[in-house]
């Protein structure tokens, strides 16, 4: 019966029905430093095995009851019993028993004898082999676990024999369907058809050059959920120094690639429309240009801007605007790619990239085209695609576009130039009536082009409201109060900084942009007026309105609307019209001004003295203020002639019950002369330069409606060109 066993000596279970044999065995084993437990038959062996987990079993073949073979098979079936060495004890002449023992899973056999001298040593050898095997199994298990966790599979290919070895993880990566006999063709067959030949070449190259391979391919059938695999490995060199095959790893990088793809989408695509963004577009254009240079073909850039998109946004709201953009993006995508069966031959070689440029602007790059007409055909298709109305949760809107086209190489050799020229051409398309396309006209002179691009950016600035009003005080010099402030427009240009009106008003006039600008100015001034009134200030606000605006149909309505929307007091609003604007088309101007005055809005004549207004006109216009031009004020304290003119104007104004106002007063000398002539209202650097509202309001805080000190103006124009 078993004694208490020392923990570190190996335990041997001997199984034999013959007590003499058991005694011999015990003596021999114990003398070799082994611990022994004994069983007298198969059943007892099985229960002792389960209880003591011996390191080795010595098992007699011939026993009553369960014999050695059945016991061996039963021991092997016990969990953990598969790896314990089992040595069968056979008779000297029983070859058949040896063969059967092997079949039921015995590890070794020993011929029974009376001399067991070397048995103990044999057992030690067997135990050592078993430990080595265990260590190997454990390390294999660890490796397999590591590979499974890292999703790395291992494979080997012996080129000569064709033998292919796939680790479990490799099997998992290459697809779950059973492999009867792993071979190189089978391996390749699991690779996505589009990647297969690339992989085959990589393996062949490594084999031929005795080199390495490192590539990625997809696994699985097309259309399925692709697994992306990173394969790395090298040629194995046999003992004879020749290349014997390949060994490599496979790693599942699907997740990593997906994450990279997500990042790429964020960086390269517009979230709203899912179209490529400018960055990706730029890359594609560069590529297209490089290809075109080689193939001597053309690249066309189409710059499209939706006509009147801003109106949709303003009237139906941003959600409607967003919806419209997405719908338009979809149609454009279709139109740009669509192949017309009649022209398919030509169109097939054309590749297109549609991207969002921002806001309501879209850009297309067409590569592989041969003639400008190919681009025109696409532009026509785009315009046609937009013809059907878009339904926006209710209202239907019609959305047309204006398209500008530039061509590589004639209109530019880099993406920036091409885009700039397509943009300029787009404005030409807009100017010639919208809903059409226009090729960039390279015959435009440089100056004309500069003007055009200035116009382009001015137009955009107006759309975006990139303006700010600076405020210049008008003071009553006898009462020492602030009578009014004039709002003067400044363009917040992204590169040039604050741009003064001299640099953009005439362009705005020529292009008609002065009208939307005037609308913005009116609205902003009224808003500001309301704010100042609410803060308890009683001064007026004046704004400059262009003659073009005055002659146009919308001014009266605009004034009425902005006054109503801002809640400003119309009696505190004054619009300034230059003398020359009065004189053009006087009849209409008269009519418009009457209606404006009916609302209570005041009217001033600006730059008076530079035109030739007659007394009669002034009387009929019922103006409230005459602003005497700076050119006349300049010399009042020096030359008698100027002084005589200003004095006459002052007298004239008084006779008409109009307030004369002296502009551009810069010195105390001028102020004193003008004051004596009867000018009480003055404006000029002496009293304050135009300043942004923050500075102006700080000055106001000095005292209620008293003229703000000139101090804040000293640096107010520092940033102004």
**Chain length of the chain:** 721
Nearer to ligand C2E, 44 or 666 (CB): 666
Task: Say how many C-beta atoms besides its own lie within 10 A of residue 279's C-beta.
Answer: 12
When CB distances are held under 5 to 8 angstroms depending on the partner's kind, the choice from Ca ion, ligand C2E, none that residue 472 binds is ligand C2E
Contacts 24+ apart (CB under 8 A), 315-322: 316/392, 316/395, 316/397, 319/393, 320/392, 320/393, 320/395, 322/272
Residue pointed to by tokens 């427009």: 489
When CB distances are held under 5 to 8 angstroms depending on the partner's kind, the choice from ligand C2E, Ca ion, none that residue 601 binds is none
Least Å from the CB of residue 505 to ligand C2E? 5
544 binds Ca ion (CB under 5 A): yes
Least Å from the CB of residue 717 to ligand C2E? 8
Four-residue CA torsion sign, 131, 132, 133, 135:
positive
Distance from C-alpha of 231 to C-alpha of 152, rounded to nearest angstrom = 9
Least Å from the CB of residue 541 to ligand C2E? 12
Residue pointed to by tokens 């028993």: 97
Cβ within 8 Å of residue 521, ≥6 positions away: 467, 469, 487, 489, 543, 544
When CB distances are held under 5 to 8 angstroms depending on the partner's kind, the choice from Ca ion, ligand C2E, none that residue 690 binds is ligand C2E
Nearer to Ca ion, 59 or 650 (CB): 650
Nearer to ligand C2E, 217 or 621 (CB): 621
Least Å from the CB of residue 383 to ligand C2E? 35
When CB distances are held under 5 to 8 angstroms depending on the partner's kind, the choice from ligand C2E, Ca ion, none that residue 277 binds is none
Least Å from the CB of residue 271 to ligand C2E? 37
Phi, psi of 579, deg, nearest 5: -55, -45
Nearer to ligand C2E, 112 or 490 (CB): 490
Q: Which of 305, 607, 695, 705 binds Ca ion (CB under 5 A)?
A: 607
Nearer to ligand C2E, 316 or 468 (CB): 468
Least Å from the CB of residue 689 to ligand C2E? 7
Nearest CA to 278 among 367, 361, 364, 356? 356
Helix (H) and strand (E) counts for the chain? 27, 27
Four-residue CA torsion sign, 114, 117, 120, 122:
negative
Least Å from the CB of residue 414 to ligand C2E? 37
My answer on whether omega of the bond before 125 falls inside 30° of 0, hence cis, is: no
Nearer to Ca ion, 41 or 611 (CB): 611
Nearest CA to 458 among 529, 519, 517? 517
When CB distances are held under 5 to 8 angstroms depending on the partner's kind, the choice from ligand C2E, Ca ion, none that residue 304 binds is none
**Burial 16-52, CB ≥16 within 10 A → b, else e:** bbeeebbebbbebbeebebbbbbbbbbebbbebbeee
Alpha helices in 361-445, H assignment, sequence order? 372-385, 415-431
109: enclosing H helix or E strand:
strand 108-111
Positions 11 through 30 that interact with Ca ion (CB under 5 A): none
Phi, psi of 272, deg, nearest 5: -70, -45
Least Å from the CB of residue 454 to Ca ion? 23
Distance from C-alpha of 411 to C-alpha of 425, rounded to nearest angstrom = 11
When CB distances are held under 5 to 8 angstroms depending on the partner's kind, the choice from Ca ion, ligand C2E, none that residue 8 binds is none
When CB distances are held under 5 to 8 angstroms depending on the partner's kind, the choice from ligand C2E, Ca ion, none that residue 677 binds is none
Residue 268, classed as helix, strand or coil, is: helix
Nearer to ligand C2E, 472 or 680 (CB): 472
Q: Which of 606, 686, 691, 696 binds Ca ion (CB under 5 A)?
A: 606
Largest CA distance in the chain: 152
Nearer to ligand C2E, 399 or 633 (CB): 633
Distance from C-alpha of 97 to C-alpha of 91, rounded to nearest angstrom = 8
Residue 201, classed as helix, strand or coil, is: helix
When CB distances are held under 5 to 8 angstroms depending on the partner's kind, the choice from Ca ion, ligand C2E, none that residue 659 binds is none
Query: What secondary structure letter does DSSP report for 624?
Result: S
Interaction mask 643-682, Ca ion, x per CB under 5 A: --------------------x-------------------
Least Å from the CB of residue 525 to ligand C2E? 9
579 binds Ca ion (CB under 5 A): no
Residue 450, classed as helix, strand or coil, is: helix
Query: What secondary structure letter does DSSP report for 340?
Result: -
Query: What secondary structure letter does DSSP report for 269?
Result: B
End-to-end CA distance of the chain: 110
CA 110 to chain centre: 76
In this structure, are residues 682 and 669 in contact, taking their beta carbons and an 8 Å threshold?
A: no
In this structure, are residues 44 and 14 in contact, taking their beta carbons and an 8 Å threshold?
A: no
Least Å from the CB of residue 651 to ligand C2E? 22
**Burial 703-715, CB ≥16 within 10 A → b, else e:** eebebbeeebbee
Phi-psi map region of 2: left, alpha, beta (phi>0 left; psi -120 to 50 alpha)? beta
Q: Interacting stretch for Ca ion, rule CB under 5 A, among 17-25, 39-47, 196-204, 574-582?
A: 574-582
Nearer to Ca ion, 32 or 618 (CB): 618
Least Å from the CB of residue 674 to ligand C2E? 12
Nearer to ligand C2E, 375 or 515 (CB): 515
Q: Interacting stretch for Ca ion, rule CB under 5 A, among 57-65, 129-137, 590-598, 606-614?
A: 606-614
When CB distances are held under 5 to 8 angstroms depending on the partner's kind, the choice from ligand C2E, Ca ion, none that residue 156 binds is none
Cα distances from 540 to residues 473, 486, 510, 525, in angstroms, run: 10, 9, 30, 10
Phi, psi of 720, deg, nearest 5: -100, 135
Least Å from the CB of residue 628 to Ca ion? 9
Tokens of 293: 């240079």
Least Å from the CB of residue 426 to ligand C2E? 26
Nearer to Ca ion, 437 or 491 (CB): 491
Least Å from the CB of residue 545 to ligand C2E? 6
Nearer to Ca ion, 390 or 633 (CB): 633
Least Å from the CB of residue 543 to ligand C2E? 6
Nearer to ligand C2E, 292 or 514 (CB): 514
Nearer to Ca ion, 360 or 606 (CB): 606
When CB distances are held under 5 to 8 angstroms depending on the partner's kind, the choice from ligand C2E, Ca ion, none that residue 489 binds is ligand C2E
Query: What secondary structure letter does DSSP report for 143?
Result: H
Nearer to Ca ion, 251 or 484 (CB): 484
Positions 318 through 347 that interact with Ca ion (CB under 5 A): none
Nearest CA to 84 among 127, 48, 41? 127
361 binds Ca ion (CB under 5 A): no
Binding site for ligand C2E (CB under 6 A): 472, 488-489, 500-502, 505, 514, 518, 521, 543-546, 576, 606-607, 630, 664-666, 683-685, 690
When CB distances are held under 5 to 8 angstroms depending on the partner's kind, the choice from Ca ion, ligand C2E, none that residue 120 binds is none
Give the interface with Ca ion as residue ranges (CB under 5 A). Answer: 544, 576, 606-607, 663
């Amino acid at each position: 019966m078993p004694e208490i066993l020392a923990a570190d000596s190996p335990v041997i279970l001997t199984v034999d029905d013959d007590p003499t044999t058991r005694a011999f065995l015990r003596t021999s084993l114990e003398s070799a430093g082994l611990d022994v437990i004994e069983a007298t038959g198969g059943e007892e062996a099985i229960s002792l095995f389960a209880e003591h987990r011996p390191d080795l079993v010595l098992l007699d073949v011939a026993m009553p009851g369960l014999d050695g073979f059945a016991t061996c098979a039963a021991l092997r079936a016990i969990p953990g019993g598969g790896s314990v060495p089992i040595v069968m004890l056979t008779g000297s002449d029983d070859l058949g028993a040896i063969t059967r023992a092997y079949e039921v899973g015995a590890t070794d056999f020993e011929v029974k004898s009376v001399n067991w001298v070397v048995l103990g040593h044999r057992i030690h050898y067997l135990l050592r082999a078993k430990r080595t095997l265990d260590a190997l199994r454990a390390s294999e298990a660890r490796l397999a676990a590591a590979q499974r966790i890292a999703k790395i599979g291992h494979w080997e290919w012996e080129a000569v024999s064709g033998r292919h070895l796939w680790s479990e993880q490799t099997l998992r990566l290459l697809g779950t369907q059973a492999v009867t006999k792993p071979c190189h063709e089978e391996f390749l067959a699991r690779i996505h058809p589009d990647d297969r030949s690339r992989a085959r070449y990589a393996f062949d190259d490594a084999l031929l050059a005795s080199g390495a391979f490192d590539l990625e391919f997809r696994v699985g059938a097309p259309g399925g959920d692709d697994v992306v695999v990173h394969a790395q490995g090298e040629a194995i060199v046999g003992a004879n120094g020749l290349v014997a095959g390949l060994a490599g790893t496979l790693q599942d990088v699907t997740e990593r690639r997906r994450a990279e793809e997500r990042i790429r989408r964020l960086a390269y695509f517009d979230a709203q429309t899912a179209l490529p963004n400018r960055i990706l577009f730029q890359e594609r254009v560069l590529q297209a240009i490089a290809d075109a240079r080689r193939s001597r073909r053309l690249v066309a850039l189409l710059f499209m801007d939706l006509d009147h998109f801003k109106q949709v946004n303003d009237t139906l709201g941003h959600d409607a605007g967003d919806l419209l953009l997405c719908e338009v993006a979809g149609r454009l995508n279709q139109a740009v790619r669509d192949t017309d069966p009649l022209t398919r031959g030509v169109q097939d070689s054309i590749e297109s990239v549609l991207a969002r440029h921002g806001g309501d602007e879209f850009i297309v790059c067409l590569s592989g085209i041969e003639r400008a007409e190919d681009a025109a055909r696409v532009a026509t298709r785009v315009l046609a695609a937009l013809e059907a109305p878009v339904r926006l949760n209710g209202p239907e809107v019609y959305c047309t576009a204006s398209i500008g086209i530039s061509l590589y190489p004639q209109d530019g050799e880099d993406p920036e130039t091409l885009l700039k020229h397509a943009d300029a051409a787009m404005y030409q398309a807009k100017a010639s009536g919208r809903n059409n396309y226009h090729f960039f006209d390279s015959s435009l002179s440089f100056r004309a082009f500069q003007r055009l691009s200035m116009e382009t950016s001015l137009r955009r600035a107006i759309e975006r409201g990139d303006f700010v009003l600076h405020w210049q005080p008008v003071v009553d010099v006898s009462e020492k109060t602030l009578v009014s402030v004039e709002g003067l427009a400044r363009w917040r240009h992204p590169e040039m900084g604050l741009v003064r009106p001299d640099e953009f008003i005439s362009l705005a006039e020529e292009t008609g942009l002065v009208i939307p600008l005037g609308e913005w100015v009116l609205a902003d001034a009224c808003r500001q007026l309301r704010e100042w009134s609410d803060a308890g200030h009683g001064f007026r606000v004046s704004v400059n309105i262009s003659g073009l605006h005055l002659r146009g149909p919308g001014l009266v309505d605009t004034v009425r609307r902005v006054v109503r929307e801002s809640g400003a007091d119309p009696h505190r609003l004054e619009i300034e019209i230059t003398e020359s604007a009065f004189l053009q088309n006087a009849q209409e101007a008269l009519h418009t001004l009457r209606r404006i005055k009916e609302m209570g809005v005041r009217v001033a004549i600006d730059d008076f003295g530079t035109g030739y207004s007659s007394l009669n006109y002034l009387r009929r216009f019922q103006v409230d203020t005459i602003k005497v031009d700076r050119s006349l004020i300049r010399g009042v304290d020096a030359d008698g002639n100027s002084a005589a003119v200003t004095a006459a104007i002052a007298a004239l104004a008084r006779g008409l019950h109009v307030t004369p106002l002296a502009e551009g007063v810069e010195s105390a000398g001028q102020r004193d002369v003008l004051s004596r002539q009867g000018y009480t209202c003055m404006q000029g650097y002496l009293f304050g330069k135009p300043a942004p509202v923050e500075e102006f309001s700080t000055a106001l805080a000095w005292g209620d409606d008293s003229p703000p000190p000139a101090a804040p103006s000293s640096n107010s124009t520092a940033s102004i060109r």
